[in-house]
Chain A
Amino acid sequence: MEDSLLFNSPGYPILSFIMLMPLIGALVCHVLRGNLALKIWGLIVTGLTALMSMPLYVLFDRTSARYQFAEVRAWIPALDLNYVVGVDGISVLLVLLTTLMMPLCVLCSWHFIRERLAEFIIVLLLMETAMIGVFVSLNTVLFYIFWEGMLVPMYLLIAVWGGPRKDYASIKFFLYTLVGSVFLLLALIVLYVQTDTFFIPELMSADLTFPLQMLIFIACAVAFVIKIPLYPFHTWLPAAHVEAPTAGSVILASLLLKMGCYGFLRLALPIAPEAAQFCAPVMIGLALVSIVFGGCLALAQTDIKRLIAYSSVAHMGFVTLGIFVFSTRGIKGALLEMINHGVITGALFIGVGMLYERTGSREIRNNSGLSMLMPVFVAFMALFGLAALGFPGTSGFVGEFLIMIAAFEQHQTVGLLLIPGVVLAAAYMLRLLQKLIWADCDGIYCLPVHAGDGFYVTVSDLSIREWCLMAVLAVPVLWVGLYPAPLLEIMSCSVDSLLQYLPHAP
């Protein structure tokens, strides 16, 4: 067991530390009084967690494919169950993405959440613990506990602080993901019964028969495809996004959607490689359909949040495609795209949240012609919008470009089929930007902003808090867009070792 782990924690158990810090912070919330104190406390805890996670980036050994910063503790001896955590090049970036996005989630709800603030901060912190837990678990039971542990806080986030149709959206989210998860649970128990271990690296090297691999792959795939989500299991996503508060949308888009792809990379691919290869055409097909279908639907939306939600379906299609071409470039591109999508879509949702706080509407029609009123905001939105459509020089370009190269290398047709998806992305994003910046749908210059029933509101540009939020998110977009090498270097070894488990693609 030990030979796949690298114990290079900096003197203290860093992974447990950043995982448990939000949980402890959540417990402290019960004794705090006053909204401002709670908000500041939430910011302190998430900020400290982000700061504490920095050593993961600095001390990460880029030449090793082993699981680093590992910890092993006896947990339930009666079941031979150990508490094992560790990160490799695949998960370390996702952990960092989580810890860095969470302070922004607190910041972006600074004014928006007014009631039940203590509970809100608690739910956010619980989410953070669960999400970090999923990324660092090296034990299937631990993985599943955190995986399901995300469900209830996210449900509450939508159901308590959501929009008008929160009941419908939250229960749909819950039931969809729960049904997926129980399949995952079955797969994990079957794996345990067959191999007598819960330890993920050991499961990877287990030699499973093809029918068993198929069983496990299909059960995992159901869970992950729903979580990603790919067509035709995507219907929960727009509903959940539209009703969720801004922080909920950001968590959902930036982090929760990554769980499915991460699950494929961590469990389904290495444990059931032959089955993964057998099913790859189906997965690639689903990914292509998601890209085109998501793009078309995004083009038809009038609600900005809904538009971004459908664009997420398309982007996650790109990620899935990158994973299932089984090449270094493809998987690296997919990982990079996961990070980029997390940052860009998070930023777009935060932007929509800012608009909604000002105008009370998320309709494109009611938010058009903003260039005179909110020049700074519009500039940021333009940057993130362009990044979302994969404009060269932004981070969106690098990920998509790598995935497209990989697709062309492996299957010419798949590469060609991707092109409409890229064109659609440009179409819906440029349409959105054009209307946000210049005019409403009839091309009439509309100023000031119309907020529905016959009254007008004036809108102010970004406050310092909001400016900081957007600026912080713009940094990685440009940085990764211009110089992605450090991130690619971190994932390099682990991706190569993952590919060794996989049979060579046809």
Chain B
Amino acid sequence: MPHAVVLFSPELTLAGMAVVFFAFSLTRSHPMLLQAVAMVFALMALITTTITYATEGVLFAGVYRVDAFSQTFKILISLGMLLVLWLGSGLRGVKRSVRPEYYFFFALSCLGLMMMCSATELLTILLSLEISSFAVYILIPLRFGVGQRAPLEAGIKYILFGLVATGITLYGMSYLFGLTGTTDLVAMMEVLPRPLSLQPLALIGLVMMLCGIFYKLALFPMHFWMPDIFVGAAHETTAFVATIPKIAATALLIRVVSLCGPSEQLTTMLAIMAVVSMTLGNLLALAQDDVKRLLAYSSIAHAGYLIIGVLCIEPFGLLSAMYYVYGYLWMSLACFFVIYNLSDDGRNIRFCDLRGLYKRSPIMAGVLVVGAIGLAGLPPTIGFTGKFMIFAAALKQQHYWLVSLAVFNVCISAFYYLRLVRAAYSNVEQETDYIELSAAAKLLGILIIIAIIVGGLLPQNFLSLARDGLAAIMP
């Protein structure tokens, strides 16, 4: 086993980032310097996770597992961090005086999320969930330029809903602990009877414990917070909340369900949640005028698609879920890239603001189109390949109805994603200003387009990485 410091190096990097930004918060620094330092740390996290990819080990008396699976997700988290930091260049939506603090809490939250990928014990899970949530509680109200009410409301809502979710999670954990007398997931699953339906209390406890994860994923019935948080928080924060916590939550969810093994009750329950999540998200998104609110509902719907892959509880399904969450990271960031760069004063974007975008900035229009058709699941994008794999996995498990409903949902969702494209390519009567993007932003835009299309057409590299990761927990 490699030295513990090596195994823990990605987390240490993020802890170091938090310390550095704590020091920065005592000074006044240029926003670009802050962003550069943050991105360097994210890059270091990416490098350390990649280096430790092939290692395996257990830390802290067995509660913390570092293996190919956890490192795969940590690579995704570091990549997501890098992209989110790159996207939110200069933190225009955050008050200047609190920008170092913003990065401080950002680093802490990501640290919590990384820990979530490796946690194999109930208290560690709870601890990592809470570290990541508490930092986000503070990040959400940090918004500049739209008044106090909406950001504060969003912050309070996130705290309240988050605390309820934590409460339910703890309650579920107490059942599991009471039944098995251990807090270690592996040991616990060995003690529990198979199939799980022989012990209904275990099933109830498990589902309640998963509520904390569903909260991060914004899956029905833990989705209430999402629209208001999206609208209330700054664009940078929204881009973060919409993507990276979902990656970590998927990691934990996959770890838990793979330890549970196939269970009809768990599958049925997840299927119901997936269907309601998709349908509710898509139907409500149809009626939205605020683009961020629309993305919030679409995010709820995508959590539903993702769960279809997870509920198969076999390697191909889980693999497709991993691929889907990776794809969702890019597609979602494509939309936030446009929102962030379009809203120079931090306002929320409505459909009318998108009008004529193809004249004002062809690159942004291109990113929006590629992101939207990806989210709609049309080829040749990462969203199509992801949905294709998820549906194939579910059909292999004979979930015909589930896939039919999901396909029905894809049709509904195409309408509102198309509205985005339509708005961007509609004509405007009056001349509007050309939006000049910085070179870094242009580069990011092109990178996003390439990643969505090439990632969809040639997914082999990611799939083999994810498959090796999955093999570490499901031999």
Contacts and interface: CB of A to CB of B under 8 A. Distances in A.
A5 interface: no
Interface stretch (B79-87, B225-233, B266-274, B388-396): B388-396
Instruction: Tell me which of A78, A144, A145, A186 has the highest count of chain B C-beta atoms within 10 A of its own C-beta.
Output: A78
B388 A152 contact: no
A193 B392 contact: yes
A77 B460 contact: yes
A58 interface: no
B410 interface: yes
A135 B237 CA distance: 46
Contacts of B389: 79
Given A145-B379, A148-B379, A151-B378, A193 B422 contact: no
A190 interface: yes
A182 B410 contact: yes
B388 A175 contact: no
Interface in A463-477: none
Nearest to B319: A78
A189 B392 contact: yes
A185 B388 contact: yes
B388 A159 contact: no
Q: Classify the interface of chain A: helix, strand, loop or mixed.
A: helix
A179 interface: yes
A76 interface: yes
B384 interface: yes
Given A156-B425, A174-B418, A186 B379 contact: no
B395 A189 contact: yes
B380 A145 contact: yes
A78 B388 contact: no
A233 to B, nearest CB: 15
Contacts of B459: 76, 78
B404 A186 contact: yes
A116 B379 CA distance: 25
A149 interface: yes
A193 B467 contact: no
Contacts of A174: 414, 418
B278 to A, nearest CB: 14
B422 A167 contact: yes
B464 interface: yes
Contacts of B384: 145, 148
A178 interface: yes
A452 B425 CA distance: 30
A179 B411 contact: yes
Interface in B361-417: 369, 373, 378-380, 384, 388-389, 391-392, 395-396, 403-404, 407, 410-411, 414-415
What range describes how many residues of B lie at the interface?
20 to 34
B463 interface: yes
B369 A182 contact: no
A451 interface: no
B395 A175 contact: no
A152 B422 contact: no
Contacts of A192: 392
Contacts of B369: 152
Contacts of A175: 411, 414-415, 418
A152 B463 contact: no
Interface in B447-475: 457-460, 463-464, 467
Nearest to B464: A78
B264 to A, nearest CB: 20
Contacts of B460: 75-78
B396 to A, nearest CB: 5
B395 A190 contact: yes
A78 B426 CA distance: 41
Contacts of B418: 155, 171, 174-175
A182 B411 CA distance: 8
B396 A171 contact: no
Given A149-B380, A167-B422, A178 B414 contact: yes
A185 B407 contact: yes
Given A152-B378, A189-B395, A178 B411 contact: yes
Contact of B379 (A119, A144, A170): A144
Instruction: Tell me which of A152, A174, A179 has the highest count of chain B C-beta atoms within 10 A of its own C-beta.
Output: A152
Nearest to B463: A78
Given A78-B463, A151-B378, A171 B410 contact: no
Nearest to A78: B463
B414 A186 contact: no
A190 B422 CA distance: 33
A160 interface: yes
A152 B467 contact: no
A104 interface: no
Nearest to B425: A160
A159 B425 contact: yes
Contacts of B391: 185-186, 189
B373 A76 contact: no
B396 A193 contact: yes
A183 B404 CA distance: 9
Contacts of B415: 171, 175
Contacts of B414: 174-175, 178
A189 B388 contact: yes
Contact of A159 (B403, B422, B457): B422
A155 B403 CA distance: 27
A141 interface: yes
Nearest to A171: B418
Interface of A: 75-79, 116, 119, 141, 144-146, 148-149, 151-152, 155-156, 159-160, 167, 170-171, 174-175, 178-179, 182-183, 185-186, 189-190, 192-193
24 contacts: A76-B458, A78-B459, A78-B463, A78-B467, A79-B389, A116-B358, A119-B358, A145-B379, A149-B379, A152-B378, A155-B418, A156-B421, A156-B425, A159-B421, A175-B418, A178-B411, A179-B411, A182-B410, A182-B411, A185-B388, A185-B407, A186-B391, A190-B395, A193-B395
Nearest 4 Cβ contacts at the A-B interface? A145-B379, A78-B463, A193-B395, A148-B379
Given A145-B379, A149-B379, A156-B425, 7 more contacts: A77-B460, A156-B421, A159-B426, A167-B426, A182-B410, A186-B404, A189-B395
Interface of B: 319, 358, 369, 373, 378-380, 384, 388-389, 391-392, 395-396, 403-404, 407, 410-411, 414-415, 418, 421-422, 425-426, 457-460, 463-464, 467
